[in-house]
Structure formats: structure tokens, C-alpha cells
Structure 1
């Protein structure tokens, strides 16, 4: 089917890609992209970096400009969807309007996990996800000296780096015994802690936040209270402790939901007229099993597949998951998922250097890699993982064996 009306809920990375891909895949009917932010779809990774630092404007971050949507005859509707009526094939908007659809795509993304502790509603306590979140934080920076970041994951550490560049005194508070505990090996965690402390960030681990204390005169946050009773002074606080997929619309419409909206390899939900893509989706990855990814590249891949499915074409979600994080002069590039690794191989010395690679192996096979300022190791890892090729553990760790020669060897094995 390539005619009728296609409705895309969510002006996210996935939503922007899916609506554009629909046109290039042959959809010649109406396309309506619905988003509840006041902007066209924009790149979100810079929110904790260049946008927070106020070195770029929102127009610089738009995935596509107004002229693209006009030229492609994609209608962008700024509204919130309240309900999906599958029986009538309609979506009901918050302003009372309803839109019929022949095909529907859910690209509803995710939202920050919020802290339900005393003082969480004080002014000056922020979450960082949208452009409006960042604009509120930026407004506080000029009159502030001390910032506390709750959460030592990627978003927390990226934000810490940005705020240090702006000259603030920054404390990162993490409840686990190391930063990045859920996503990296201890060696990588220790590296990032070393770098941040060298840059002047105070890193507190094994430190549970139990409340925020306010300034009685202003109603603003003034300190972060830890479980041991310590009070960490703060002019403002940014909470970054993870996200939850926005699955409520799908769940209320009776679609299958397990952590995310369940889709098959073609991006179809349990209703064949409805697809889904992005951070809100759970699917079976051919390499890693049941997966929900919070990744811009994966959102784009899923969106392309879902758009093809909506146009009656058969493609599958198969691209290797990969991610990145920018902190100071460091570019971390991650290939694959390290869940279930049993061995770590280091290339370079993360205790002294500012560049190295950490390879994750399971039963001798490479399953993931963290590459800091090591683009060749990243490309090598992507190629090995994509082709399920064997690796030489000794050569991986040996800096005298150029990774380029190992990459050449891998390529030769894949060349007919």
C-alpha cells in the first residue's frame, strides 16, 4: 500500500527519518507528522553538549528544515495525541481534533526517570531531554557557581563536561560504586572518573540522594541531601538517572508492550497496520536477543525498515547497534552491546592515556568494543561484529600489531 494517509506520532529522530523515508519508499498519499514540541525534529545528542554550552542554536540542530517538509508535502502537526482508536483507525488529539489513518507509526521516544524524593519539585531541579529543558538550565548558568548532577551515566558525564567548560564547580553524585556501571567494564569507568577529576569535577560514588533542600526565601534548591546525612551545596541540580520508553498510547490501544512497544523484524507491532521505531521499541536483535536501544543510529535504521513495511516492502532490522559520547576532547565510540561478556582485552593504557580501546569478548568471540579516540579500532570492531569474524586476542592487545593490518586481514576474509 502506498496511498491513503500515513500518520507518524512523535517528531523524534525516528519520526523525522520515518516520514522522510515514506516518501522515498514510494508513499504518495498524505503524511502527517505529529509532535508536541514547538520545534521541528532536531538532533538530541547536542542537548547535553554544544546546545547546553550555547555554541549552537536550535536552527543549527534541525534534522531537516521547513523547506524539506514543504517540498515533500509532509504536514507537521504540533499537538499531543491523547488516544489511538484502532477500530476506527483514528488518532485523537489534545485539541479535540481527530485524524484518520491508513497506516500509523509510533515514534514516541522516551522520557527521563524522575526522582520521587522530598524537594524534587523545587525550582532549579532539572531533567535534560528536550531543547526547552536545556534552555531553562542555560538561563540559570550565568548566576550560578555550583551545579550537582545526579547520575553518573553518559548523560550525566557529558553534562558535567559541558558545565566545567562553562566554568562551574560541578559535583557528580552516583548511587552505584562506579560511574557508567551499567554499561562499561570497571577499567572504562575508572578511566572516565580519572579524566573528570583531572578536569576538576568532584565525583561521588556509593552516594544515594535522598532529598533536595530548598532556600526558604526563594523556593529554589540549595543543597542535595545524601543518605549518610551529608549536604552538597547546589545552585541548581540536573538529574540524569535513565529514561523510560513512552509506551502508554500503545498500551492503552491494546498493542503488545514489554519494556517497549513490541515489534517484529519488519517494525510491525501486534497490529499489522501500525509500526513503531526508536527508543520506545523492543525487538529481537539477531545478535543480542531481546533488545531496546536508546541510540540515534538504531532509531534511524528502525525507521527506514518501518517505512518500507508501511509501503509493502520487505526489509528487516539488522544493522549493528552503535553509540557515541563526547566529553572534553574525548570521543567514545561504542560498537555492539557488551551484555554477558566474560573477558576484557585492553589496547592502550586507560590509567595514563587519553586514548585506548576496550574489547569485550564472550567465549573468545568479540561482542562489543568501547573505543576512546581510537576510530580505527571502532571501524575494525564494527566490521568484525557485522560479519561475526574471529579475532586474535593477543593481537588485539598488542600495540606493535597495527590495528590497520588486523582490519585488512578482516576485510580480506570478507572479499570474494
Structure 2
């Protein structure tokens, strides 16, 4: 119950961040955000109540230790369906994602960073901390469907981004990164669906990597919007182009760095979570259909190619371009306060990419115990 209350409490400040300090269509976006998440949470609450009443306790540690032995399979299936719907909205899983692009586009920069770095992680954390250890039989029933929705989200998010980055489509950079989050969170859900230590560790790693990288991307897009007055790709790339490499080289370098980190370049944080999720799908837990997960692995791997395609197009359109026309005022490069905010995110992205054991050493013991039915 404490988890549920905390899960709901975060909606209050985020609603006001979007509705009060957001951009165009902020009130509609804030209302859509709250309605989606609250309706999902109502269903999730029913599932939590079912588990607590049937098991005789709401203690998360006791329920995880019991590992579903006090719950019948039918109760677990119903509970996972209800709890999973609420968590899937928050994640967000395709096709319950439509609140996210609107919320990100309307939110101020800090709101987008909090959404990407914190709120989306609450859904996937709930899958790992509640659904996997408390209702393992129910999760095993729905795991192939969760994996299918996950890879559908990966492909859908990538295709949406490719459409937005195409010249003439008036694609908004913040909206593009929001759709990229749908794809990246698909890898997290795929790792969870494998129900293996490898996949779940990959999901947790991808969770943290996504928060670092996408948070940095939203900061950078906010900086570009402050300087150019718009995040519209066609406007930025029109005439001589945004040409950040020539006009604000440090900002351009950071945009390129965040983009290649997001596409999963080896040596940066984005690589390990996606790779481990795909490895988990290659050899899923006992009782799960290996051909189905191999298919999901192949589709997910194809999604990484699409991700690389749209992010490299973003770099080309935003960072490259012609020289600054005569008479045009110089563009401000990265300021000191921006360096102070962005450097930790960039440094942690490199650290986690070069030394993944920093995170995996923390998550693996807990994951092993959760999957085996022990106190995490």
C-alpha cells in the first residue's frame, strides 16, 4: 500500500510542472497524463488488494519470500493482469504510451528530465519488485505477450522517430526523444519478460542508462530551444542548418555524444542494458517458449538498427550545416551552470559503459534472490 501511495503521489508535482510551466497545449497534456496514469493505477490497486487479501499480508518482503506459493495460479494470473496494466501505463508500454509524447512536448525541460529519469522507471521497477517475485506463475503466463508488446514498442518508437526526423514533417525534437523512450523502455520490458537473471539485470541496467542518457538529451534539447527559440527540426535544419558544430561546438559535441550513447554505442551505458536484454531473450526461463523469444530477440535487434538510423539523422540535421550567415549574431555555447548540470550525467554514462560491473554488482544479488523467492 505504501508503494501504491508513493506511486500516486508523484503525479501531483508533475501535473503542476506541466500544467503551470509547460508550453503549448500544456493543460490538455497534463490532464491526459493524469487520466491515463490514474485509470491504470485504479486497476493496479485492485490487483494489489487481491494479492494482499488472498495471501493474508501486504508485506512486500514476505510476499516475495513466499514466491507465490500462497496464491493459486488463477489468482496470480488475474493479479498480474491488473497490476501489469497499471505498471504498463507508467512505463509506458505500447499501446498505452500515447500520453507520453504529449506530456514531454508540453513539459518544461526539468519536467521532461524528471519524466524520463524517474517516473518511467517506477513502472518497470514495479514489475521487478512486485510482479516477478510475488506472482511468478502469473508472470510466466503473460511473459510471451509482454515480450511481444515490448518489441512492438521498440519498432513503433523507432518508426515514429524516423517519421519525425524526415524533412518536411515538422518533427519536434522533444517529441522525437519521447517516442525514442517508448522504444528504449521496450528493451527494459523485454528483459523483464525473459524472467532470467541476465534479462532482469539488463532491464535494470537499461533503466538507469535510459535515465542518464535521455535526461541529458532533454537538457540539451532544452538548451537548443533556448538558443534558437524552437525545437522544430525543419526550422532548425532550414537554410544553413542549426550547425551546432560550427556555432556552438561544445553543445554540438554533447548532442552527438548523447545521441550515440542512446543508440547503444559499445563503451557507453546504453549498450549493456540492450545487449543483456537480448541475451536474456536468447535463452529465456524454463517453461517459456524459446522460439517466441528468439523471434522477439531478432525483432528487437532490428530495432537497434532503426534506432541508430534516426539518431544519426538527428545529429546530421542539428549538428551539421553551412557557415553562419554574415550579420547573424553568435550562438552562446555551453554555459558554466549547464556544464555543472550536464557533466555528472555524461560522466556516469561513460563510467557505466566502461565499467558495467559497478551497476551489475549491485543488482545481481538482489535479482538472484527475487527470482528464487528470497528476501531482496
TM-score of the two chains, using structure 1 as the length reference: 0.24
Pick the structure with greater CA Rg. Answer: 1
More strand by share: 1
